[in-house]
Amino acid sequence: MYSDNHIELKNYNTFSLDAKAQAIYSATSVEELLMLWKNALLKGLPVLLLGGGSNVLFISDFDGLVILNRITSLVITESSQEWFIHVGAGNNWHQLVKELIKSGIYGLENMALIPGSVGAAPIQNIGAYGMEFKDVCHYVDIVDINNGKQYRLDATECQFGYRDSIFKHKYRENFAIVSVGLKLNKLWKPILTYAGLTSLTAQTVTAQTIFDAVCKMRQSKLPDPCLVGNAGSFFKNPVISRMAANQIKARYPRCPEYPQTNGTVKLAAGWLIDQCDLKGFQCGGAAVHSDQALVLINKNNATGKDIVDLARYIQKKVIEKFAITLEPEVRFIGKYGEVNAMDAIS
Ligand SMILES: Cc1cc2nc3c(=O)[nH]c(=O)nc-3n(C[C@H](O)[C@H](O)[C@H](O)COP(=O)(O)OP(=O)(O)OC[C@H]3O[C@@H](n4cnc5c(N)ncnc54)[C@H](O)[C@@H]3O)c2cc1C
């Protein structure tokens, strides 16, 4: 797929924004990806790698080449105790979860229905319903665009954190994730710690039951991007000191808090936004979802600017009320590539 002229990106970002790119290609192999990237560099075009476009916000047209990562492969091997899944970065995450369960390989069910590609999963260490990508990561394979060399990073080297990894820092530019290795214990243990799953019985529950329950809860809580443009949680949940959390708790006893192992406390960004009475609040064509305060939606032909203005307003209101600065989880894409989201909304 290629054009030298302006290509509509509406179908390639789940916000369904009307941004344009100079050109768009699909890469189905590492060689193709390298070739496309090098050609773009020779032409002086910036490159944006996209999977499912479910974690990006186009704040303007992108004056470069979009490469869709469509490197798909799936190789499953096993030892007496573990399954080893080697999967191409272009595979769809949810389809992988579904197919593995169908094959009797369990352990990803809590992360069912997270949109996007396998290759993007390590970048923000996707997580939901009591587990994160890091819990199943064996390794991540990357390619250096400058020299074509491939490297394998084990889970420790990926430096996973809450919505964070080395792929947002050292390996953010000029590197592409090309495949991922997962390690799943054959001695499956259900994870039922998260609200909504606690009523299931550990002794009798199956992975399929958890998968179905997670899908049902997500479908009832989150707007479907096929119907209403959105990128899931727009802001990260803020992590603050115990002392700051105590001060908030003294003023707002009902504020939910999640103590972290290092002594800090995670708060629910959606709750903070909701306390500012912003559900349903609109800025141009963008709005805060009327049920989920953490989800910003493309309500009526929103532009990237509408969503940035709305995010800025939300951030200001939360600072005024709680003295907490919310940070976007979504990646902002400008004319020449990614821009700093905090700078864009401040
Ligand atoms: C309705 C909805 C619900 C969501 N729920 C959750 C949730 O529960 N938990 C959660 O963690 N996330 C959630 N998300 C966010 C999103 O699903 C994840 O961030 C997902 O991993 C993004 O995958 P993607 O392929 O769409 O990435 P894209 O949006 O295509 O890309 C995201 C970023 O990664 C870069 N990138 C993409 N592929 C590669 C690659 N192969 N190599 C290098 N860089 C690459 C892009 O350049 C971009 O900067 C949700 C999103 C939506 C729309």
**287-344 tens-digit pLDDT:** 999 999 999 999 999 999 999 999 999 999 999 999 999 999 999 999 999 999 999 9
Q: Considering the domain boundaries, does residue 122 fall inside one?
A: yes
Q: Which atom of ligand 1 lies nearest, measured to the CA of 49?
A: 47
pLDDT above 80 for 5: no
Question: Distance (Å, rounded) from C-alpha 257 to C-alpha 246?
Answer: 10
Question: Distance (Å, rounded) from C-alpha 202 to C-alpha 184?
Answer: 18
Question: First and final CA of the chain: distance in angstroms?
Answer: 37
Per-residue pLDDT of 57-82, as tens digits, reads 999 999 999 999 999 999 999 999 99
Per-residue pLDDT of 85-100, as tens digits, reads 999 999 999 999 999 9
pLDDT for position 195: 86
pLDDT for position 325: 98
pLDDT for position 1: 47
Q: Are 35 and 55 in contact (CB under 8 A)?
A: no
The rounded Å distance from CA 281 to ligand 1 centre is: 25
Q: Is 329 a catalytic residue?
A: yes
Q: Whose CA is nearest to atom 19 of ligand 1?
A: 55
What is Dmax (Cα atoms) for the chain?
A: 60
Half-sphere exposure of 214 toward its Cβ, with a 13 Å CA cutoff? 26
57 and 141 share a domain? Answer: no
Range of the domain at 40: 7-69
Q: Which of 192, 220, 248 is the last residue of a domain?
A: 220
Structure tokens at 103: 């094959």
215 and 80 share a domain? Answer: yes
289 and 210 share a domain? Answer: no
198 and 253 share a domain? Answer: no
Domains of the chain: total: 3
Q: Is 233 a catalytic residue?
A: yes
Q: Which of 69, 90, 123 is the last residue of a domain?
A: 69
42 and 126 share a domain? Answer: no
Dihedral sign from CA coordinates of 48, 51, 56, 61: positive
Percentage of residues in the chain having pLDDT higher than 70? 99
265 and 331 share a domain? Answer: yes
78 and 64 share a domain? Answer: no
What is the rounded average pLDDT of the residues 5-15? 92
The rounded Å distance from CA 338 to ligand 1 centre is: 14
Question: Distance (Å, rounded) from C-alpha 265 to C-alpha 258?
Answer: 6
Q: Identify the band that residue 252 occupies on the pLDDT scale cut at 50, 70 and 90.
A: very high
Q: What is the CATH number of the domain that holds 295?
A: 3.90.78.10
Q: Considering the domain boundaries, does residue 1 fall inside one?
A: no
59 and 120 share a domain? Answer: no
Q: Is 218 a catalytic residue?
A: no
Query: Of the listed 70, 109, 117, 163, which one is catalytic?
Result: 163
146 and 125 share a domain? Answer: yes
Q: Identify the band that residue 161 occupies on the pLDDT scale cut at 50, 70 and 90.
A: very high
Q: Considering the domain boundaries, does residue 241 fall inside one?
A: yes
60 and 96 share a domain? Answer: no
Model pTM? 0.96
Pocket of ligand 1 (CB under 6 A): 14, 48-56, 69, 89, 114-117, 119-121, 123-124, 126-128, 176-177, 222, 225, 230-232, 331, 338
117 and 172 share a domain? Answer: yes
44 and 87 share a domain? Answer: no
pLDDT above 70 for 208: yes
